[in-house]
Amino acid sequence: MSKKIIIGITGSIAAFKSIQLISDLVKQGYQIEVMMSESATRFVTPVCIQSLIKRKVYVDTFDDENPAIITHVDIVKDADLFMVVPASAHTIAKLAYGMADNMLTSAFLAATCPKLIAPAMNVHMYENPITQKNIQTLKETGVVFVEPISGLLACGDTGNGKLADEETLLEMIDYMLAPKTLIGKKILISAGPTQESIDPVRYITNHSSGKMGYALAKAAFQSGAQVTLVSGPTHLKKPHGVNIIDVINANDMYHQIIQRVHDYHYIIMSAAVGDYAVQNIAEEKIKKKEDTLLLEFHKNKDILLEIGKRRSSAQVICGFAMETSNLIENAQTKLKKKNCDMIVANHLKVEGAGFQGDTNVVSILTTDAVQNYDIMSKQDLAHVILNQMKELEERKC
Ligand code: CTP
């Protein structure tokens, strides 16, 4: 059955942004119910929202069609999430004080499901200690806030108060709805390529996009874990709620990870770490004088191998293997040599697998089994990997 999200829209110029959000959530298959404050209807019309959700939009508390049903109490009973987007200073104040003077505030008070508030207002209204105190009061009751972002506001001021972008709102909705299976777990993930300098303008890298590692970080955060992502250079948006450590080369990545090895329950090395670095990085730009150019390389430290030497037996360590031949055999060798619990192996030449795409085709190897998976999105695969790690951990106990 599809999950039910109640969306409350309040009187903010950002109300128009809720239209796109609602449309996208409907396309994703959620059951959406919408409540608008009276002032929200001055910015967007209920008719517009109604035509997207194909249901009545609620504004007036006393507009109950069936006298046997008290809508503001009934509608929230089976809700999976109540989200107020955008939330004005006025509505936040009412919610903090438990006021129930319209359909939205009454339903919010009656709801027992997880609640999410995305504020949008003038920077001074947002930063006013009264608003901040109201936000704090709501946070103390378990309400989660999606912080507004800084930018040019509709009133002409510049500052914190713009509604968070839709990607962040969707990420937070996923977070709120995901089962919290990894609460209390600390997870360290590496992602992306590394860059090894040749001279001040050139470097050597690989085709890794970082998508798999970022999907893992997102999935781990959604499942309630405390996540650190050590990321090589990528063009991806940083996942919300994750502690990010940016690195450039394999040596930086090695140092950032090794000093943290003992602080994490799970470690996942999904980065495509460069195996070699240029021996003598030129201090000046190399000029094209000769017809050929020879570069000398030295081997980088193998981070996963070093983790394997230092790890405790209670930790769960997962490596990746990217191969172009003898996938299982090579992955099995890496599993043993690097002292991991699990290797996620993929064949670079298989359609739908590999670096740049949003899907992967993998085999997951543990010391006693090999499981082959059909093509799936990197996001779904991230959850599969984390579930397997949890199972392995439980088997150790
Ligand atoms: N890895 C690492 N440090 C390196 C190289 C690789 O930690 N210097 C990790 C990767 O993050 C991955 C695993 O080791 O989890 C396997 O990486 P892969 O590139 O498939 O294999 P290599 O060990 O580098 O061996 P080869 O290149 O010979 O296949």
213 C-beta closer than 6 A to ligand 1: no
Looking at residue 61, its pLDDT comes to 85
Looking at residue 362, its pLDDT comes to 95
155 is an active site residue: yes
Q: What pTM was estimated for this model as a whole?
A: 0.88
275 C-beta closer than 6 A to ligand 1: yes
Q: CB atoms < 10 A from the CB of 180, how many? A: 12
Digitized pLDDT (tens) for each residue of the chain, 397 residues in all: 799 999 999 999 999 999 999 999 999 999 999 999 999 999 999 999 999 999 999 998 887 778 888 888 899 999 999 999 999 999 999 999 999 999 999 999 999 999 999 999 999 999 999 999 999 999 999 999 999 999 888 878 888 899 999 999 999 999 999 999 999 999 999 999 999 999 999 999 999 999 999 999 999 999 999 999 999 999 999 998 899 999 999 999 999 999 999 999 999 999 999 999 999 999 999 999 889 999 999 999 999 999 999 999 999 999 999 999 999 999 999 999 999 999 999 988 888 887 888 999 999 999 999 999 999 999 999 999 999 999 999 998 8
Cis peptide upstream of residue 200 (ω within 30 degrees of 0): no
320 C-beta closer than 6 A to ligand 1: yes
Q: Are strands 149-152 and 115-119 parallel, antiparallel or unpaired?
A: unpaired
By most ligand atoms within 8 Å of CB, the mutation choice from 257, 268, 269, 311 for ligand 1 is 269
Looking at residue 223, its pLDDT comes to 96
Q: At 64, list the tokens.
A: 């109950």
168 C-beta closer than 6 A to ligand 1: no
Domains of the chain: 4-177 (3.40.50.1950), 186-396 (3.40.50.10300)
Q: Are strands 158-162 and 202-204 parallel, antiparallel or unpaired?
A: unpaired
Please pick, among 155, 318, 340, 397, the residue that the annotation labels catalytic: 155
Q: At 338, list the tokens.
A: 């690097």
CA torsion, points 324, 329, 330, 333, in degrees to nearest 10? Answer: 180
212 C-beta closer than 6 A to ligand 1: no
Torsion sign (Cα): 253, 357, 385, 216: positive
Q: How many CA atoms lie within 13 A of 281 on its CB side?
A: 14
Instruction: Report the separation in Å between the CA atom of 210 and the middle of ligand 1, taken as the mean of its atom positions.
Output: 15
Compute the distance between CA of residue 243 and CA of residue 232 in angstroms, rounded to an integer: 14
